[in-house]
Each structure stands twice: as structure tokens, then as C-alpha cells.
Structure 1
Amino acid sequence: MTAPASTWSPLRIGVFRVLWLAVLGSQVGTWMQTVGAQWLLVDRPGAAALVALVQTAGTLPVVLLALPAGVLADSLDRRRLLIWVQLFMLAIGVLLTGLTMTGQMTPPLLLALTFGLGCGMAMTNPTYQALIPELVPRAQLPSAAALGSVSVNLARAVGPAVAGVLIAHTGVAAVFGINSATFLIFAVVLFFWRRHPEPDGMLPEPFLAALRAGGRYVRHSPTLRRFLFRIELFVLPAVALWALLPVLASQRLHMGAGGYGLLLAALGVGAVGGAVVLPKLREALSDNRMLGIGSATYALALAVVALVREPAVVVAALVPAGFAWIAVLSNANAGLQLFLPNWVRARGLGMYQSAFFGGQALGAFCWGLLAQRAGLVPALLVAAAMTAAGAATIPLWPLIDTRHLDREPATFWPEPRLAVEPDRFAGPVVVEVTYVIAPENEPAFLAAADALRRTRMRTGAVQWGLFRAGEVAGEMLEVYVVPTWDEHLRQHAGRLTGADQEIDLRVQALSERPPTVVHLLPARPR
């Protein structure tokens, strides 16, 4: 058996290493900005709700823009898109810095500009993650995903600590200024990187068509839907710790800005430790066992943090909480990176980001309100109970195992041979596939047809049906509708995977003769 790749092995690849370091710097700046924004509000009336709203303002745009961002990342040059997004975030960062220096920053304006930075983050995350499979071999994707979590949690450890020192000595404006500089550095690194994507011979998808295609893929992929559901069940209660940690540090533990940085550093240390051993954990544990153990550990840590007032004990409890956080989320991210085919990867990752950050935005808001009305300790205890309850549902709604699936692109359909030249964007197009099924093979054929239906619908079909020919015994007609001829050509040229091919071949093997295919085109132009 091949030994699992080391967590650090992707860093041996020069391009990945430089981009990873640039992203790390940007994430450190983002956490510094978050701490600075929260600390500006921690002494205001209604601080618990206002502080939690900083996280909501930063993450809500991901919910709103995740799928459109994925569409753009799947359709445009990802490098150029990232450069323009960093310049947009740089402009907002400069404005934040200037207003704070001049004393003109108000809570509504701070939340609005944080929302603007969140819009940039919504565009950055799925675009950068969709680039990673171009940078590292497929076998190293789990390690690259773990390194992504390492960078996030290193940023959580370093960013708040640096921010605490700067806030104490120079003020919040310096924190915002450094965050702005990280966007500029990331843009410069991207500018000097010369990306050489493999041409696929296809024109970029029209935006609305690509948006609908991404939505269809999610709708007809039970595996992806289950991933998103499990992420929500974990993140909604788990985010209470992150959202309420500033209030915990300030009002319950009386630790100040530096103490808040220490608490975040403890979470970061646990998360980095988890990332180091994650490849071995993936070898030893199934995805569901990792999810269950991680959720139970996190719930226990939440309960300890809620009930104990001794700072040293709270710091110690936050280390396994960080470990559990990364074990659950980094493993889910790695699983999605391996599962999603290239043509829809950014859109699928955008939906993951929507679930992840949407859960954080909604959860942070709700836990802030609950802490404001019922108190900090009851809110954290309720979050611990909900996290444990989510773990208890794993036997009912487990993650679907995808490690054995072949997700490499597969071009196995023959090129359509038509007597007419169709308009590429004309539609709808009806595809008829005729099978001849012996009576003894009919139960197996009907059973396999459901998997075939999902394959067609994921890759472009908007309607699908299976019919029995009334005049010819044993003849079965599969009929599906694709919006345009262009969409059907994309099914031929890049949307199908090795797993789709296995399903198709299994169905074809049940036919007495090779299936015949007829394409029905619009009789009149639209």
C-alpha cells in the first residue's frame, strides 16, 4: 500500500509554495482586520450582538455570491480574476484605514466596509481553491487541502496576536493598513505568475447557462448535497465559539486584547497540529468516523469553555477544539476537491463556501442574540449540546463514501454525426437512446436507470424519461432534453467522469445490441 503523502509535500512545488505563502499573508491580514473591527465595537452598547455582526458582515457575501463567483471562476481566467479582486479589496482596505485614522468610523460604516471585504473574499475563495488541482498532483490534493487549513489557522494564531500588540501600541488603523498591504502583495505575486491552463477546445460558457448548470449539478448530486448538509449541521453550532470568543475574553475572563489573541492562538495551535496528522487520520479513519470524533471533541471543548473561568484551563481546552475544527472541515474540503469534476469544481466549491460561511453568518448572528438575552454561558452550553446532537445524527445521514470513485474526465461518447449543422446555441435538443433489453435483464436495467438519470441531469439534461416501445418487444427508449446543442457538446467533451462512464457501460452491457442514438434538433430557429 502506498504511504499517504506528507502534509508538507505540496510545498516542494515552487508555484504552489509562493501562492500559498501569499494567501497565508492575506489571511493573516484578514484576521488582523477582523480583530481590529471587533475590538472597535467591544465597548459599545450591545457589544455581544455588534461583535458577532462583524463576522456576519464578513461572511454573508459568500452566501449571496458563492455560486456566481464559481461561475466566473469556471468561465474566466482564474489568475486575472484573482488579481482584479485583490485590487478591489485593496481599495476598500485603504478607505477603512483612512476613516479610522481620522476618527470618522461608525459601527454601520464599519459593518458596510466589512461587507465589501466579504464580497472580495467570496470571489477569492472558490477561485483560488479551483486553481489548486492545476498546481499539485491529484494524490497530493488532500495534503494541499490540509495546507489550506494550516494557512487559515496559522493566520488565526498569528493575526490576532499581532493585531493585539498593534492595537495596544499604535491603534486599530495600523491593523487595517497592514491588511491592505497584504492584498497588494497577493496581487503582485499573481501578476508575476504565468499560468498555462490546458485548452479544452470549448468556448467559455455563457454566464446564465453556466449558473443554471451549476445549480443542476448540485440538485442532482446526492453526494454533494450530503456534504453540504453535514457541514451546516456542524458549523451552525460550532461557530458560537468563534463568534463569542472576544466577549468571553473581555467580559468573562478579563484578558484584554492580548488575551483574546492568546485564545485564538490556542485554537490555531490545535488546528495546525490537526493538519499535520490529517493524512494519517484519513488513512486510519473513514470520513464518518472522523466527523463523529471531531464533533464530539468540539462539543466537549465548548462545554469546558462555558463552565470554567480559569484562563489557563480555557486555553488548554481550545487546543483540542482547534484540532477537531480542522479534522472536520479540512477533511470535508479535501473530499470535495477529490470528488468535484474540473468543469464544475469552482461552482461546487462555491456552494461549499456558501454552506460554510452561510452557517457562520447565520450562526454568529443567532448566538450573538442568544448571548445578549440569555447570557454567554447558556449560549455556549446550548451550542455544545447542538454540536453533540449533530454528531448523533451521523448514522442516520452519513457522508457518502467517494474515495473509490473515478473522478477523472472521460471522453467516451462518439462524436455526433449529423446530416445538418445545428446552431450551437439553438435548443432545446432531445436525445433518444434506444436499448434492446432481454426479459431476464429488465429488472437490472431498470435498477441501473436511476443512476443513469442522475448522470444525465448532472451533466446538462433538464428533463429525463425512460419509455417502453409499444410496437417492439424488449425495446427501451431513454429520452432526455438538453437546453442547447452547446450544452450537449459539453457533455461529450468534458463533463463526464470515469464514474459516469462506469454507469453508462453497465447500462449498455444489459442491451442485446449497442444502443442507437438519435439527436432531435429544433425544426425552426428561435
Structure 2
Amino acid sequence: MSDTSHGATAPAPQPGAFAPLRQPVFAVLWAATVLGNIGSFMRDVASSWLVTDLSASPTAVALIQTAATLPIFLLAIPAGVLSDILDRRRFLIFVQLVLAAVSGTLLVLSHTGALTVEYLIALTFVGGIGAALMGPTWQSIVPELVPRSDLKGAVALNSLGINIARSIGPAAGGLILASFGAAATYGIDVLSYVFVIAALLWWKRPPAGDTALSENFLGAFRAGMRYTRASKELHVVLLRAAVFFLFASSVWALLPLVARQMLGGSAGFYGVLLGAVGAGAIGGALVMPRLRARLDADGMMLLASLLTAAVMGALVFAPPKWLAVALLLVLGLGWIVALTTLNSVAQSILPNWVRGRGLAVYLTVFNGAMAAGSLGWGLVAQQVGVPMTLVAGAVGLVVAGLVFHRVRLPAGEADLQASNHWPEPLLAEPVAHDRGPVMIQVEYRVRKEDRPAFLDAMKRLSLERRRDGAYAWGVHEHTADPERVMEWFLVESWAEHLRQHHRVSHADADLQSDVLRFHIGPDKPEVHHFLAL
């Protein structure tokens, strides 16, 4: 049943920052991922440098960045669907093979001198597709690798790993590129995928179980969107993420101009600033367990907003370069606090059957808010200048942080494991899985004086019905017998209703128990199933 009970006992001690690494599978996959990301950053450095050799056009340089990031925005949700309907381990191996083929092709073309801007952009776009497919899937497997108590720590370690790779990869890529050439840099990236694929092959993921009710792509897409529309908890996470990243994107959009115009720095100094963000994020990941012991998720988000806004406000005064580097360390701390908090909350409220799709929606909101915010703040800076835009972004972030602090993030403590407590439907004869729509009716008897409380409980239950597959829901009373109340909901197919049976969690069972306590009949409520003719 639900594990949301609260007692007067002292809170359990927070696991250490590296506690998830005690899980051998997580440790191996985490290390392999760090190596893989280092290789990817090395590849990106080589591609960004090579395009300047191949063309002097700024448009060509910009197209490389667009080709790398556009697929992530466009394909995050389809990638989440695939991660939920396919075997995640095999899917990740396939994506790694695609990415290795991209880098291998770049290696051959650069070694033979056949690489052109068109080839580089096209291969970068394919690499972006691979990154888009991998993102939701890789995040979705984390709860499979660690116990629930280590989930937040595992999410923080994943962020730490990315920042470790970001700190090492570009520098190592630039050094190898200058010393041995682009082909060697791409070759090392190919080698990094070998380690990742080997780790995934070593991981003996438990079989998914019964596949008779496997979803197809379009059906899974619709189910994911239904869940997203009906999940109030996910709405809160998406809202908090959109607001934070919309304002926080101002410092990222304007940082190159801050480095060049306000601080008088070179491209090298800009790289130092970015490295400081990564180093601050690494430090932040190490202190996260202590922060979580003192602050809940809402407190963490307010802290991230205040730290980020303080850095933006301090940069307005064009501080000395050494102080600017120190400020960017603080920015890295605030950034990883926000990223880890939002991601871990999203992970904790999503059941396994829809986790990839839910995380994909989160990633789409994140990338969309960053892209829209960057564009908007750039236009504002063009009108009022960089310093005033930083002030506006900082003030907006503080105000939004204080206002939305009241929109509480979900605790993420509900038991989302399948309860499997629904009995199998009675059938006169077998029903084809694609038959539908299906109407399910549940008949209750409720005292008139209990009606308001019953309807409140039914309202909460309706969201569960919609999250798990219903596309319409309602409740009606009998005209001749007001105590006779009928709940009904529609599901698109018989197979989708059978999936509902396996999706209902222990937390959902608690919601149903709240409704059933108002039922006064001698037996359980009658359940009827009707198929469209």
C-alpha cells in the first residue's frame, strides 16, 4: 500500500553522495556513461573546429549547433514512447551502435580528406537524433538500477557525471585535435562507445514479462499524452521547470556577450567561465545530500533561484575576471541543484510503464523553455543592453522563485508499484484485443448525506482512471433511486483496458479504497464491461 504515512519519528539519515555507486550495475553503467560523454564532447569539439576550416560562413557554424540540438527538441517525446514500448537495454545498445557509426564515418571521411560541410552537418544531425533517442531512455533505467532510497542520489550522480565529462571532454578533445588531428579525435569517440556497449551487454536486465499486451507506437503515444494531461503532479513539475528555466536562460543566452563585452575576455576566457560552471556543478553534486537533509524540494528550488539571480546581479557590475570565475562556480551550484531536484521529483512521481514518456515531456519543456527564453532575452538585450537584461532576468527569477514557492512540488513518496488487485473481467467468449471502444461501469450505493464527500473522492479517482487509460469519464445517479450511483469511463480498446489492470498502483488502490468506504451495499460494487458494436 501507499508509503505516505507520517509519524513523529526522526527523519532517516540521508544517503551519502556516492551511496548509489554501491550498486554494481549502476556503478558500471555510470562509469561507462562518463566515458561515453567524454568521447561525445571530444567529437563535438572536433566538428565545431573542422567546420571553421571547411567554411568561413557563420551560417555553417550555426547550422552545426542547430543540427546537434534540433532533434532533441523535436524527437524527445517520440523517443520517450520508444523507451517505454521497447526493451530499454536493447534500445540503448542500438542507439550506441548508431552513434558509433556516425563517429566512425566522420573518422573515415576526415582521414581521407572527403569531409565536406554538408556531410558534417548531416552526420551531426544523425548524432543529434541518437542523443534525442538516448536521453529519456537512459534516465528511465535509473530507478531499475538503485533502490528507491538512493534515487535522488543516483540522479545527482548522473548530473555529476555529465559535468565531469563536460570538464574533461572539450579540453582533451582540443588537445588531441591539435596534436594528432580530427581522425584521432573521432577514433577515441568510437572507442568510448565500445565501453558503453560492453557495459550494457554485461547488464543482465530482468525480462519485461508478459508481452501479449505490448503497445504499438501510436497507442503508446496517445496513452502517454493522456497520462500527461491527467497527472496534476506532473503539471506542477512542468510548471516549475518552465518558469525557472525561462528566467534562468537569460544568463546562458548572454554569457558570451558578458565575457567579451563586459569583462573584456577572449574566447579562452569564455571557455574558462564554462569550465567554472562545470566545476561548480561537480561541487554542488557533492554537497547535495547535506542540502537535501536541511531543505525539501521547494526549498532547493528557491535556493537555486536565489543563487542564480545573485550571480546574474553581480555580473551586472562587470567584476574582475577572477571574481567572475568565482561567480560562475556559484552558478554551477545553483544550476545542478535545480536540475537534480526537478529531475528526481519527476522520476519519483512517474510509474515505470510511462516513465520514458513522462521524462520526455519534461525534457521537451526544459529545452523549449531554454530555447524560447534565450531568444526572448536576446531580443530584450538588443533593445536595452546586456546589463539591464541581466537585471530584469535576476529580478524575474527572484519574484518567480518566491511566488511559485507556494506551488508545492509533489513529495514523490507514493507507492507506484503495480497492485494487480483488479479481478479479471468476466467473458462469455474471447475478445479481440483491438475491439473497442470499451465502456466500464461501476455501480455504487451511496447515502445521500455522504454524496458530497463521495464526489470529492470520485474526483480524485477520475484522474487515476484518465492517467491509466480512460479518455472519458463521468458519474451519474439513477432517477428512480438516488442512492444508486453509476461511474463510467471509456477506454479505446480491450487491450488498453487490460493494460489498465496492470497499471493500477498501490497508491491508486488507496484512492479506490477512499471511494469504496462510502459504498453501503452488502457486496462489492458491480462492474460491467460493454463493447461498441
TM-score, normalised to structure 2, is: 0.88
Q: Find the counterpart in structure 2 of residue 305 from structure 1.
A: 315
Asked if 1:321 is matched to 2:331, the reply is yes
Whether the 8 Å contact between 2:422 and 2:501 is mirrored in structure 1 is yes
SS state of the match for residue 311, structure 2? Answer: helix
- The 1:393–1:478 alpha-carbon spacing in structure 2 relative to 1, beyond 3 Å, is same
CA distance in 2, matches of 1:327, 1:34: 26
Within the candidate set 423, 429, 442, 2:432 is matched to: 423
5+ residue gaps, structure 2, are 1-10
The range that moved more, 374-383 or 512-521, is 374-383
SS state of the match for residue 307, structure 2? Answer: helix
Asked if 1:292 is matched to 2:302, the reply is yes
Within the candidate set 478, 488, 497, 1:469 is matched to: 478
CA distance in 2, matches of 1:218, 1:32: 36
Whether the 8 Å contact between 1:60 and 1:361 is mirrored in structure 2 is no
CA distance in 2, matches of 1:172, 1:256: 24
CA distance in 2, matches of 1:59, 1:421: 48
Q: Find the counterpart in structure 2 of residue 236 from structure 1.
A: 246
- The 1:266–1:32 alpha-carbon spacing in structure 2 relative to 1, beyond 3 Å, is same
What is the count of residue pairs matched by the alignment? 519
The range that moved more, 18-27 or 379-388, is 379-388
Asked if 1:78 is matched to 2:83, the reply is no
Whether the 8 Å contact between 2:87 and 2:208 is mirrored in structure 1 is no
CA distance in 1, matches of 2:81, 2:376: 30
- How far the C-alpha of 1:240 sits from its partner, in A, is 4.1
Within the candidate set 505, 508, 511, 2:519 is matched to: 511
Which AA in structure 2 matches 1:2? A
Which AA in structure 1 matches 2:473? W
CA distance in 2, matches of 1:358, 1:57: 16
Q: Find the counterpart in structure 1 of residue 27 from structure 2.
A: 17
- The 1:364–1:104 alpha-carbon spacing in structure 2 relative to 1, beyond 3 Å, is farther
- How far the C-alpha of 1:140 sits from its partner, in A, is 1.0
SS state of the match for residue 141, structure 2? Answer: helix
- The 1:134–1:196 alpha-carbon spacing in structure 2 relative to 1, beyond 3 Å, is same
Which AA in structure 2 matches 1:455? E
Whether the 8 Å contact between 2:298 and 2:408 is mirrored in structure 1 is yes
Within the candidate set 500, 507, 511, 2:508 is matched to: 500
Which AA in structure 2 matches 1:337? Q
Which AA in structure 2 matches 1:452? L
- The 1:473–1:375 alpha-carbon spacing in structure 2 relative to 1, beyond 3 Å, is closer
Which AA in structure 2 matches 1:478? E
- How far the C-alpha of 1:229 sits from its partner, in A, is 1.9
CA distance in 1, matches of 2:262, 2:235: 39
Q: Find the counterpart in structure 2 of residue 152 from structure 1.
A: 162
CA distance in 1, matches of 2:168, 2:79: 29
Whether the 8 Å contact between 2:262 and 2:318 is mirrored in structure 1 is no
SS state of the match for residue 462, structure 1? Answer: strand
5+ residue gaps, structure 1, are none
- What are the equivalent positions in structure 2 for 1:407-486 lying under 5 Å apart? 407-486=416-495
Asked if 1:352 is matched to 2:362, the reply is yes
TM-score, normalised to structure 1, is: 0.90
- What are the equivalent positions in structure 2 for 1:181-330 lying under 5 Å apart? 181-200=191-210, 202-245=212-255, 248-249=258-259, 253=263, 256=266, 258-308=268-318, 310-330=320-340
- The 1:94–1:125 alpha-carbon spacing in structure 2 relative to 1, beyond 3 Å, is same
- How far the C-alpha of 1:381 sits from its partner, in A, is 4.4
User: For 1:412-447, what per-residue CA distance to the aligned partner results, in whole angstroms no more than 9, with x for missing partners?
Assistant: 212212223211221011000001000121110111
SS state of the match for residue 415, structure 2? Answer: coil
The range that moved more, 233-242 or 349-358, is 233-242
Within the candidate set 87, 99, 113, 2:97 is matched to: 87
- The 1:307–1:55 alpha-carbon spacing in structure 2 relative to 1, beyond 3 Å, is farther
Q: Find the counterpart in structure 2 of residue 60 from structure 1.
A: 70
Q: Find the counterpart in structure 1 of residue 3 from structure 2.
A: none
User: For 1:446-501, what per-residue CA distance to the aligned partner results, in whole angstroms no more than 9, with x for missing partners?
Assistant: 111111111101101011111011122311100110111111111112x1122211
Whether the 8 Å contact between 1:226 and 1:399 is mirrored in structure 2 is yes
Whether the 8 Å contact between 1:52 and 1:364 is mirrored in structure 2 is no
Which AA in structure 2 matches 1:237? F
Which AA in structure 1 matches 2:485? M
Whether the 8 Å contact between 2:48 and 2:61 is mirrored in structure 1 is yes
User: For 1:77-113, what per-residue CA distance to the aligned partner results, in whole angstroms no more than 9, with x for missing partners?
Assistant: 111111111121222223445556638543x765544
Whether the 8 Å contact between 1:7 and 1:275 is mirrored in structure 2 is yes
Q: What is the root-mean-square deviation in Å for CA atoms of aligned residues? A: 2.9
Which AA in structure 2 matches 1:413? W
User: For 1:131-185, what per-residue CA distance to the aligned partner results, in whole angstroms no more than 9, with x for missing partners?
Assistant: 1222111111111111111111112222233234345555666544433432343
User: For 1:298-330, what per-residue CA distance to the aligned partner results, in whole angstroms no more than 9, with x for missing partners?
Assistant: 122123335425221111001111111111110
Which AA in structure 2 matches 1:498? H
Whether the 8 Å contact between 2:446 and 2:483 is mirrored in structure 1 is yes
Whether the 8 Å contact between 1:157 and 1:261 is mirrored in structure 2 is no
CA distance in 2, matches of 1:188, 1:9: 24
SS state of the match for residue 393, structure 1? Answer: helix
Q: Report % sequence identity.
A: 40
Which AA in structure 2 matches 1:484? S
Asked if 1:141 is matched to 2:141, the reply is no
CA distance in 2, matches of 1:122, 1:181: 21
Q: Find the counterpart in structure 1 of residue 16 from structure 2.
A: 6
CA distance in 1, matches of 2:399, 2:57: 30
CA distance in 2, matches of 1:164, 1:129: 29
CA distance in 2, matches of 1:165, 1:332: 35
Within the candidate set 42, 50, 58, 1:32 is matched to: 42
Which AA in structure 1 matches 2:499? R
SS state of the match for residue 470, structure 2? Answer: coil
- How far the C-alpha of 1:55 sits from its partner, in A, is 4.9
CA distance in 2, matches of 1:100, 1:357: 31
SS state of the match for residue 440, structure 2? Answer: strand
User: For 1:46-65, what per-residue CA distance to the aligned partner results, in whole angstroms no more than 9, with x for missing partners?
Assistant: 96x98776555433322221
Asked if 1:405 is matched to 2:411, the reply is no
CA distance in 1, matches of 2:47, 2:394: 27
